[in-house]
């Protein structure tokens, strides 16, 4: 991809601050509700809620083991799952937490689809489960077998995309879960790390451990499929040697449809997928980028600098959460000359 703007710097810019306190172990996921609340799950068994207006920790709750994912139901209710195999719902107004369901193996992903009012959980037991948000008890709707362990999920409108071990990708219509609408194999040759759906519902981005991102479209027609492509990123050339890093995380800007990627190289890049162009590169962070989250209006980006063990067990910087005020010039697509 062609590049433009935003050379990486060594120190935090004035448009960015560190959120304290952070976690005491690896950060697994982050989500922002509206433009104010940040939900962070961690390997230290905690789920933390921060108020970005006051830059403070608002509340937290615990699992019995590492938490691998979390998401919002609404401003006061949060879901989470992890190595204890449990799916929890925490009600902040009453400080009550309850287990609404379980999997046979660790829960890797939780996603809430507000259009269908359904919670979706994905597990290393090679299943996804749906839970009915119309009942306060979140009664189970169904269990759906996957070809392998679930690594990543994303939902938009009434579509669910599931990425598993073995590079399988299943695309579902949440209105009829009996069979996937489409069964695909990742166009990337190595293990899938992250999938995120386009805000307009036309397709999804898929990243892998070997420093690549694929842009895919749901429409199976030849014309739409001819538009898909993949590109290299998060690679550093040192003395003629190309060092490749996993693309751990991605997040879409809801207004512009551009997206950010975070890699094991500690770099955050901003991409215009439609025009196949890198728009911006933020400074190099202390260690791996483990999670990214835009606010709903795109004015804020949460960045988790948290070692993801791509180089094995070694000394590494402490986990940090940075909150960046996003400028339109960083994320707005550039006009392409004819």
Give, in order, the Cα–Cα distances in Å from 192 to each of 81, 82, 99, 213: 20, 19, 29, 10
- The single residue listed with the structure tokens 């609408």 is 181
DSSP-assigned letter for residue 284: P
pLDDT of residue 2: 45
What was the pLDDT predicted at 3? 42
Task: Kindly state the DSSP code that residue 176 receives in the 8-state scheme.
Answer: B
pLDDT in tens, 37-91: 999 999 999 999 999 999 999 999 999 999 999 999 999 999 999 999 999 999 9
User: Residue 155: in which H helix or E strand, if any?
Assistant: strand 150-156
pLDDT of residue 68: 98
> What sign does the dihedral 215-216-219-224 (CA atoms) show?
positive
Angular region, 220: left φ>0, alpha ψ -120 to 50, beta rest: alpha
User: What pLDDT is attached to residue 313?
Assistant: 81
Lowest mean pLDDT among 194-203, 289-298, 327-336: 327-336
Residue indicated by tokens 């392998």 = 148
Q: Which pLDDT score, from 0 to 100, does residue 223 have?
A: 96
The residues that bridge with 252 in the sheet, in sequence order, are 259
Judge whether residue 289 has pLDDT over 60.
Answer: yes
Strand partners, 286: none
CATH topology of domain 27-325: Methylamine Dehydrogenase; Chain H (2.130.10)
Which single residue is written with the structure tokens 């400074």? 283
d(CA 140, CA 224): 36
> What sign for the dihedral angle of Cα 263, 265, 267, 271?
negative
Under the banding of pLDDT at 50, 70 and 90, the label for residue 12 is low
Angle of CA points 103, 58, 296, to nearest 5°: 75
What proportion of the chain, given as a percentage, has pLDDT over 70?
Answer: 95
In this structure, what token pair is assigned to residue 267? 């770099």
**Going by C-beta distance under 8 Å and a sequence separation of 6 or more, which residues neighbour residue 238?**
none
**pLDDT band (50, 70, 90) for residue 127:** very high
- Local confidence band at 286 (pLDDT 50, 70, 90 cut-offs): very high
Cα-based distances in Å from 245 to 121, 213, 332:
28, 12, 26
Cis ω before 21 (30° cut-off from 0): yes
Q: Do residues 38 and 332 touch, judged by C-beta distance below 8 A?
A: no
DSSP state of 105: S
Helices (H), 127-259: 222-225
pLDDT tens for 225-279 read: 999 999 999 998 878 888 999 999 999 999 999 999 999 999 999 999 999 999 9
Domain boundaries, the chain: 27-325
């Amino acid at each position: 991809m062609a590049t433009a703007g935003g050379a990486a710097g060594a120190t935090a810019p004035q448009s960015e601050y560190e959120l304290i306190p952070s976690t005491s172990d690896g950060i697994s996921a982050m989500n922002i509700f509206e433009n104010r609340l940040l939900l962070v799950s961690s390997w230290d068994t905690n789920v933390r809620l921060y108020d970005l207006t006051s830059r403070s920790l608002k509340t937290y709750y615990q699992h019995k083991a590492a938490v691998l994912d979390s998401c919002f139901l609404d401003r006061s209710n949060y879901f989470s799952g992890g190595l204890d195999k449990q799916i929890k719902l925490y009600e902040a107004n009453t400080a009550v937490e309850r287990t609404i369901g379980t999997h046979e193996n660790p829960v890797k992903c939780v996603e809430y689809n507000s259009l269908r009012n359904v919670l979706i959980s994905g597990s290393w037991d090679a299943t996804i489960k749906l839970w009915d948000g119309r009942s306060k008890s979140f009664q189970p709707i169904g269990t759906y077998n996957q070809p392998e362990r679930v690594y990543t999920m994303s939902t938009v409108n009434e579509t669910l995309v599931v990425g598993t071990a073995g590079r399988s990708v299943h695309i579902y219509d949440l209105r009829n879960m009996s069979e996937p609408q489409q069964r695909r194999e990742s166009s990337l040759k190595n293990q899938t790390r992250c999938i995120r759906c386009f805000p307009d519902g036309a397709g999804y981005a898929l990243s892998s451990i070997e420093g690549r991102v694929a842009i895919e479209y749901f429409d199976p027609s030849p014309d739409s499929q001819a538009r898909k492509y993949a590109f290299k990123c998060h690679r550093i050339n040192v003395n003629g040697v190309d060092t490749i890093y996993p693309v751990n995380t991605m997040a879409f800007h809801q207004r512009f449809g551009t997206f950010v990627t975070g890699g094991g190289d500690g770099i955050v890049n901003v991409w215009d997928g439609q025009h196949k162009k890198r728009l911006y590169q933020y400074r190099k962070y202390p260690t791996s980028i483990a999670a990214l989250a835009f606010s709903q209006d795109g004015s804020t980006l949460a960045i988790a600098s948290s070692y993801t063990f791509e180089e094995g067990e070694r000394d590494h910087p402490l986990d940090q959460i940075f909150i960046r005020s996003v400028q339109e010039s960083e994320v707005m697509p550039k006009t392409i000359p004819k």
